[in-house]
A and B are shown apart, each in its own frame.
Chain A
């Protein structure tokens, strides 16, 4: 299957700093990527849909100025958590759909990035 790589896997930062998380599709082009957040013992919550070459679409309640998304190429989307605070500590996961697998509907996930804000 297709491979989506996320980096970094773990990041610890001080409150008030910004953190960038990268999501790459390694063997396919993804015009659309999705960013999810998962708090402990809870389900994945869609934060935003990242569209290559255009602005991301944010879900209700997600601050676009705090969670900056850039999808500058067909294989890379980045999520920047600006001025991070302890309540932003979470597991952030990106995903993408390989149109070559459109019939199966499979969505490929990155490994996830665990952010801890001190």
Chain B
């Protein structure tokens, strides 16, 4: 099984940079995902890391360290619309199933 841990809430200022951390413990590992979920909506895909290192995609970057069981999502130039829950999810070895963390609710303030 998998255990995914991330902070419950964070607040950041518009235009700033915020880093959302995620730690995982898993018996098998096939990748780490980040999803964005606005209230009342389905999650939308942000990033996927399976190898160590940083993946950059516009204002969003995601980092993975397999040896440390650690990932973070970095959001730059924060906008008000970035206020949402950010879900860290792990995929087990040989499986399409995802185990989601409880999500980090990010509030962007002016």
Tell whether A and B belong to one assembly: yes
Q: Which of B96, B99, B101 contacts A107 (CB 8 A)?
A: B96
Majority secondary structure of chain B interface residues (helix, strand, loop or mixed): loop
- Which B residues are in CB contact (< 8 Å) with A34? 96-98
What is the number of contacts between chain A and chain B, taking CB atoms within 8 Å? 51
- Which A residues are in CB contact (< 8 Å) with B103? 43
Find residues 19-52 in chain A having any chain B CB closer than 8 Å to their own CB.
32, 34, 36, 42-46, 49
> Complex formed: what's the CA distance from A97 to B103 in Å?
21
B41 touches A44 (CB 8 A): no
A70 to chain B, nearest CB (A): 19
A104 at the interface (CB under 8 A from B): yes
> Complex formed: what's the CA distance from A45 to B102 in Å?
9
A59 and chain B: residue at smallest CB distance: B97
B105 to chain A, nearest CB (A): 8
Listed stretches A61-69, A71-79, A80-88, A109-117; interface member:
A109-117
A42 touches B102 (CB 8 A): yes
B91 touches A105 (CB 8 A): yes
A110 touches B31 (CB 8 A): no
A93 and chain B: residue at smallest CB distance: B42
B102 touches A105 (CB 8 A): no
B98 touches A46 (CB 8 A): yes
Listed stretches B15-23, B44-52, B70-78; interface member:
B44-52
- Which B residues are in CB contact (< 8 Å) with A114? 40
- Which B residues are in CB contact (< 8 Å) with A112? 40-42
B103 to chain A, nearest CB (A): 5
B96 touches A111 (CB 8 A): no
A17 to chain B, nearest CB (A): 24
B residues bordering A, Cβ < 8 Å? 30-31, 33, 40-45, 48, 50, 87, 91, 96-103
> 19 A–B contact pairs at CB < 8 A?
A1-B45, A6-B42, A32-B96, A34-B98, A43-B101, A44-B87, A46-B97, A46-B98, A46-B100, A49-B97, A91-B40, A93-B43, A97-B96, A104-B48, A105-B48, A109-B42, A110-B42, A111-B41, A112-B41
